[in-house]
A and B are shown apart, each in its own frame.
Chain A
């Protein structure tokens, strides 16, 4: 954050505080573990995490590599940004693909849940073991779902990468206990206290580069079971009579392209995306009034106009 130069006493705003806290977490981990790594998934949370890590160690280069656990099915735009990041000076990016999944040609069209399991879950464990990483930064946030609300910032794994609920430690003040036994490892979540809105505001305020798929553009899509999928490359098996249709779409989250649903939207700017996603309760209350006035149909119409 650009702090005004020469200010006397002031208190930090919420984004500055979140930023300072995340930086503190990065530094603690680097000071107290032997071989940390950042899990880089190319999404918006990873983008923010990377930005914060650079700030934490400036002017030194990142004291740990980035690890992309690849599935070979990400969007082309994601690979483009990843390669751009990897080319930055001072960045070491490791890409790991589970060789077994590669050999078997595991893919989301034919193999269902096995795809995620082998490429991502197994791939991650293999990569961590291969390089001997003892701490891995991840971009998960507590606000993502109710059950994550009680997650710790430091989450401990035994030597088999199992989460041991009994051995999770209370976290007081900003005193993180990073002690662990041989072969045990830690997952660290520096964005724990950020909300989705914080992430977007920070990206907006700091001008952080994100994958363009987050913004609307005309893209070739097909609709399957009510989900809009983007036909991102020639591997997409079109069914008989199915033809890609150009629609103006964007994505709220990014993963493997055959598993990621698009939403139709005209939001071509960051500000417009933020607007589309937010439902202020004031609007909800007004919404009820509108509802009474014009019935459910008027509500539906408002929705289509990007009210929600």
Chain B
């Protein structure tokens, strides 16, 4: 853009220059980063400054900023950069959940997407969400306050979520006289913590967001600092490419069958590269074949790399559907139905162990239950505590059972396929984010198909009402709260087929981990989820099926 502007006096040259500029900036790279800081550390001012100083701003945005600054700004006649990123406070007052706001700016070299996570109440949830796609984290420190508990918390979460580049922005340097000793002391202190926390690398930069020191250019106020400004550093961090060196993996999103003679498998490459003729394997089944074509609407490709969305065809007609993962033929991944994971709880409702949740990993959704909560990390003290339920913003080390084997990948090996979400089967809310830690040996279980159905019991026979009442009492004595679905209960839905109603209600409650006893008379031979107990025969069969 800078070169572009020089030529404005000569219109023809200008249009050529413009086209060259457009071509050149087609080839920008993309960096996603997250900013971490507490209220008043200067996060809004810093982001606003970055947007303003580097974004190719549109005319109307600029005039809006100027008039907002006059009306609401805190900086007198100066532009108040914080106003460029505001727009969250109103929602906060209305009690609307805000997790992450995304901002965009670009330089000639790179496009940036900033995940800005407001507030501290929901900090863990928000930061993990914003960080899940970030390449870098900018951790803000108020130079007057130094390293605080929250600095450690931000760093811990950034590391947990696998962010490769940590940037420590020591802000408000103007308030400590731009002094080197303050900066050095903070860096040394952080270095000490980083070593303990297992953080290998970080870059510290002294800045003043308010005055623009060491943001887009090096500050003359701090000649003792020889490193790059914040923007220069962010412009030069390595991105992408790394995934290309890993083994090839692609989860199948969609099977394309426009005609009899075309069958393509569409997906986005999670890691590595794939070429025509490559030997591949389809997981979890393990069948092997070769890549025939890599089809895109811009023509077939010879190769494709991590990050690309492609469609492949295979040389053999073999079974492959959504949820399967295509990997290089020599990939040793064994499908597992049990994983250990770090689980970040994101819902107001606590985790219910053994309840059946949906677990989405890659493009596969399976039934899963959290079997064991080993320990919970206290994000404030970074100490582990045990024996408590997992609540909003807790991070627990857990073991999870899946209802069928999936080709799981450890999160540290691949963020795209090693991360998962848990979904509540009733409310459909996303209740947790998980990072696969390990795949315990012998963890393959055959698909049970109907794991949630074990809790549904149809009681038949003449004494069914009495029998069911006794069973309910027994379950209650064991601390469970069963739901009894009898004729009176289904009568609440007049006009509906009572057996169907009973079945639907039972499925609903058991998906929430609540056992269901049904005494509605069903025809023999009708197939229903759950089991049938004949009360006239097994008087005390109850104990046997109570889980």
Residue ranges of A at the interface with B (Cβ–Cβ < 8 Å): 1-3, 5-21, 23-24, 27-28, 30-31, 54-61, 142-143, 145-147, 149-150, 165-175, 177, 179-181, 192-193, 195-198, 201, 204-205, 269, 271-272, 274-275, 277-284, 286, 305-308
What are some 13 contacts across the A-B interface (CB < 8 A)? A12-B30, A15-B28, A17-B307, A27-B253, A31-B253, A31-B322, A146-B85, A150-B88, A150-B102, A174-B133, A175-B420, A179-B423, A274-B22
- Chain B residues with CB under 8 Å of A146's CB are 84-87
B contacts with A: majority SS: mixed
**Given A15-B26, A17-B307, A60-B256, does the pair A150, B53 have CB atoms closer than 8 Å?**
no
**Given A149-B103, A193-B113, does the pair A11, B241 have CB atoms closer than 8 Å?**
yes
Known: A147-B90, A172-B133, A197-B106. 16 other contacts (CB 8 A): A2-B298, A9-B305, A16-B308, A23-B309, A28-B363, A31-B322, A55-B296, A58-B297, A59-B295, A172-B129, A172-B132, A173-B415, A271-B19, A274-B18, A275-B14, A306-B8
**Given A11-B240, A170-B433, A277-B59, does the pair A60, B257 have CB atoms closer than 8 Å?**
yes
B58 & A278 in contact (Cβ 8 Å cutoff): yes
Q: Which residue of B lies closest to A60 (CB)?
A: B258
Q: Chain A's nearest CB lies how many Å from the CB of B160?
A: 13
Give B97-126 as 1s and 0s: 1 = Cβ < 8 Å from A's Cβ atoms: 111111110100011010010000000010
- Chain B residues with CB under 8 Å of A5's CB are 301-302
A175 to B416, CA, bound (A): 9
B22 & A204 in contact (Cβ 8 Å cutoff): yes
A181 & B301 in contact (Cβ 8 Å cutoff): no
Return the contact of A278 from the options B1, B86, B266, B308 (Cβ within 8 A): B1
- Chain B residues with CB under 8 Å of A3's CB are 296, 298, 301, 304, 308
- Chain A residues with CB under 8 Å of B14's CB are 275
A54 & B297 in contact (Cβ 8 Å cutoff): yes
B307 & A170 in contact (Cβ 8 Å cutoff): no
A272 to B18, CA, bound (A): 8
Return the contact of A11 from the options B52, B62, B239, B267 (Cβ within 8 A): B239
A1 to B110, CA, bound (A): 18
Q: Does B268 sit within 8 A of A, measured CB to CB?
A: yes
A142 & B309 in contact (Cβ 8 Å cutoff): no
B428 & A179 in contact (Cβ 8 Å cutoff): yes
Across the A-B interface, give the 10 residue pairs with the lowest CB-CB distance, nearest first.
Answer: A11-B240, A146-B87, A280-B1, A58-B297, A60-B258, A23-B309, A9-B244, A14-B30, A179-B428, A150-B101
A9 & B25 in contact (Cβ 8 Å cutoff): no
Q: Chain A's nearest CB lies how many Å from the CB of B46?
A: 16
Q: Does B333 sit within 8 A of A, measured CB to CB?
A: no
**Given A14-B111, A16-B308, does the pair A168, B29 have CB atoms closer than 8 Å?**
no
B22 & A57 in contact (Cβ 8 Å cutoff): no
- Chain A residues with CB under 8 Å of B27's CB are 13
B104 & A283 in contact (Cβ 8 Å cutoff): no
A9 & B56 in contact (Cβ 8 Å cutoff): no
- Chain B residues with CB under 8 Å of A147's CB are 87, 90-91
**Given A60-B257, A170-B433, A197-B106, does the pair A14, B128 have CB atoms closer than 8 Å?**
no
A282 & B5 in contact (Cβ 8 Å cutoff): yes
**Given A17-B30, A193-B104, A201-B22, does the pair A174, B1 have CB atoms closer than 8 Å?**
no
- Chain B residues with CB under 8 Å of A16's CB are 307-308
A12 & B56 in contact (Cβ 8 Å cutoff): no
Q: Chain B's nearest CB lies how many Å from the CB of A164?
A: 10
A171 to B430, CA, bound (A): 8
Q: Does B507 sit within 8 A of A, measured CB to CB?
A: no
- Chain A residues with CB under 8 Å of B106's CB are 14, 195, 197
Q: Which of B85, B116, B129, B415 lies at the interface centre, i.e. has the most chain A CB atoms within 10 A of its CB? A: B129
A56 & B56 in contact (Cβ 8 Å cutoff): no
- Chain A residues with CB under 8 Å of B182's CB are none
B265-317 CB contacts (< 8 Å) to partner A: 266-268, 273, 295-299, 301-305, 307-309, 311
Q: Does B164 sit within 8 A of A, measured CB to CB?
A: no
Give B27-64 as 1s and 0s: 1 = Cβ < 8 Å from A's Cβ atoms: 11110000000000000000000001111111100100
Q: Does B346 sit within 8 A of A, measured CB to CB?
A: yes
B129 & A281 in contact (Cβ 8 Å cutoff): no
Q: Does B178 sit within 8 A of A, measured CB to CB?
A: no
- Chain A residues with CB under 8 Å of B57's CB are 279-281, 284
A146 to B266, CA, bound (A): 35
Q: Chain A's nearest CB lies how many Å from the CB of B69?
A: 14
**Given A9-B245, A10-B241, does the pair A175, B421 have CB atoms closer than 8 Å?**
yes
A193 & B308 in contact (Cβ 8 Å cutoff): no
A201 to B433, CA, bound (A): 35
- Chain A residues with CB under 8 Å of B267's CB are 27
- Chain B residues with CB under 8 Å of A272's CB are 15, 18
Q: Does B96 sit within 8 A of A, measured CB to CB?
A: yes
A229 to B495, CA, bound (A): 58
A18 to B361, CA, bound (A): 22
A281 & B301 in contact (Cβ 8 Å cutoff): no
Q: Which residue of B lies closest to A303 (CB)?
A: B59
**Given A9-B241, A31-B253, A59-B295, does the pair A20, B307 have CB atoms closer than 8 Å?**
yes
- Chain A residues with CB under 8 Å of B295's CB are 58-59
A150 to B22, CA, bound (A): 29
A128 to B97, CA, bound (A): 27
- Chain B residues with CB under 8 Å of A205's CB are 22, 26
B56 & A197 in contact (Cβ 8 Å cutoff): yes
Return the contact of B87 from the options A17, A149, A279, A284 (Cβ within 8 A): A149
- Chain B residues with CB under 8 Å of A28's CB are 253, 363
Return the contact of B59 from the options A27, A54, A193, A308 (Cβ within 8 A): A308
B26 & A279 in contact (Cβ 8 Å cutoff): no
Q: Does B493 sit within 8 A of A, measured CB to CB?
A: no
Q: Does B458 sit within 8 A of A, measured CB to CB?
A: no
**Given A30-B254, A150-B99, A150-B102, does the pair A201, B429 have CB atoms closer than 8 Å?**
no
Q: Does B224 sit within 8 A of A, measured CB to CB?
A: no
B102 & A149 in contact (Cβ 8 Å cutoff): yes
A177 to B424, CA, bound (A): 10
Q: Does B358 sit within 8 A of A, measured CB to CB?
A: yes
- Chain B residues with CB under 8 Å of A17's CB are 30, 240, 307
